[in-house]
Chains A and B, each alone.
Chain A
């Protein structure tokens, strides 16, 4: 669809995005507030950030979270990519319906259910709750998101690329590692990023599956939020937002650049070709 924007369209876009962004902007602004009172602006200060770095509990939690997120995102990316391949490439195998269901259900499953059920599993098989169990839980729900992201790339994948590779003598394995994987790699990378942030953000599932030694940052934030709004929490949140936003924006700028460069190259090639062709005839 492409048309001119009416006033109504502009107003709804502006209001919609204000609604989406204003609360976050306010939170960021008030993290630089001098006063401990959240609603009274008493001047600019970075003292809450300084205080954060002397809060050992918070730093420990951040370290746990980072490790959980890194490991679970990496494993989930492998499993999710496998699952995406299974879904797009093998249209017939036993239990395909069940498999598809298990990929899509976690996307909408209420977190309390996922968390509770995983906890009960860990108790039943006698696995001590801690770093390991949180990581396993995160792998499980993150792999489904990775699968969906990679699968949508695979659906638009030109299969003749793989056929060409095999036609030129590449074995199926060579074809996968030298052609398929490099071509879908942007989707795999964004799947990893999604899995990483999902793990970074998760409170509910981590609360169920984590043990005493492995408090994650969202759990720490949650326990403090229950006590009320404080500038320290605003500061932690601001840092988290900054980290994620930087990552996402950087990734999209890189993509955009590549896209622009690509388009410029294409135009260049077309122009060069036109000139050459014009000379020929």
Chain B
């Protein structure tokens, strides 16, 4: 009796979250896929065919035969979408590299700090992660705009005579992404650097390596798992980013997350935005799988 209860409890622990994710995570993707193959309609919901269980299998089949790849053809015909995809990947890629360049020295410094200081520094890196993303992006508007704090300051110290135009340019997006995602880069880097045995570097130096030589030949290669994890954690969400290009990039910036949002909210074209989402997902499948593999490996290592 009790064993039966135990077996049921085990089932529940697996089944409840599993079913939840099937319904609210996997099923929605299938629906996105289905709608991306549908035609827009002036109705609610604004697409057709609409499946109804009452129609039975025959109705389903009739609906399936109405599927069309028009939306995808449309994506290839309008250069807007292609450019948006390309520029999303380029912007996310450049931002990731800048984040790495800024994040690595910070993580390295943190890992070398005294054990009393380390938890405080770690806390300081995590803290912004808890504060609203929207607020952190918004804070930069006041700094970067032509009459904003940065320009006021630079003109006050006499470095420039005319305000720099930063807001509504790619530079502003880079700043926004680097700023928002820096903790995601620093944390995995820090955890891989912190684990490292400092005597390895001393051994390298003892064997005749210079300080920089020891860094590039010992420290950096050993921190590569952290580098990979950090870059993926920044790159993947940055490609689909909406808030940063919308608030800091202005109307001329093309990024796919923003395009999807506009397609959906402004044009109310659900089928096309679904197609955009599917293509974006395909674009990210490889990095997401890399990320999962890295996670699984890290988990194995911890066992």
Q: Which residues of A contact B (CB under 8 A)?
A: 1-6, 8-10, 12-13, 16-17, 19-21, 23-24, 26-27, 30, 38-39, 79-80, 82-83, 85-86, 89-90, 93, 95, 98-106, 108-113, 116-118, 120-121, 123-124, 136-137, 139-140, 143, 147, 151-152, 155-156, 171-173, 194, 197, 200-201, 203-204, 207-208, 218, 221-222, 225-226, 229, 233-234, 237, 240-241, 244-245, 248-249, 252, 256
Provide the main secondary structure of the chain A interface.
helix
Q: Which of B18, B182, B232, B302 contacts A108 (CB 8 A)?
A: B232
Write out the residue numbers on chain B whose beta carbons fall within 8 Å of the beta carbon of A137: 24
Known: A2-B198, A39-B142, A155-B303. A123 touches B21 (CB 8 A): no
Write out the residue numbers on chain A whose beta carbons fall within 8 Å of the beta carbon of B132: 200-201, 218, 237, 240-241, 244
Write out the residue numbers on chain A whose beta carbons fall within 8 Å of the beta carbon of B67: none
**A241–B131 alpha-carbon span in the complex (Å):** 6
Residue of B nearest to A218 (CB): B134
**A120–B115 alpha-carbon span in the complex (Å):** 49
Q: Which residues of B contact A (CB under 8 A)?
A: 2, 5-6, 9-10, 12-14, 16-18, 20-29, 31-32, 35, 45, 51, 102-103, 105-106, 108-115, 119, 121, 123-128, 130-136, 138-143, 145, 147-149, 152, 179, 182-183, 186, 193-198, 201, 232-233, 236-237, 239-243, 247, 257, 260-261, 264-265, 270, 273-274, 277, 280-281, 284, 288, 291-292, 295-296, 299, 302-303
Q: Which of A8, A110, A120, A248 contacts B274 (CB 8 A)?
A: A120
Provide the main secondary structure of the chain B interface.
helix
- Whether B31 pairs with A108 at a CB distance below 8 angstroms is no
Known: A27-B139, A237-B135. A17 touches B179 (CB 8 A): no
Write out the residue numbers on chain A whose beta carbons fall within 8 Å of the beta carbon of B260: 112-113, 116
Write out the residue numbers on chain A whose beta carbons fall within 8 Å of the beta carbon of B277: 112-113, 116-117
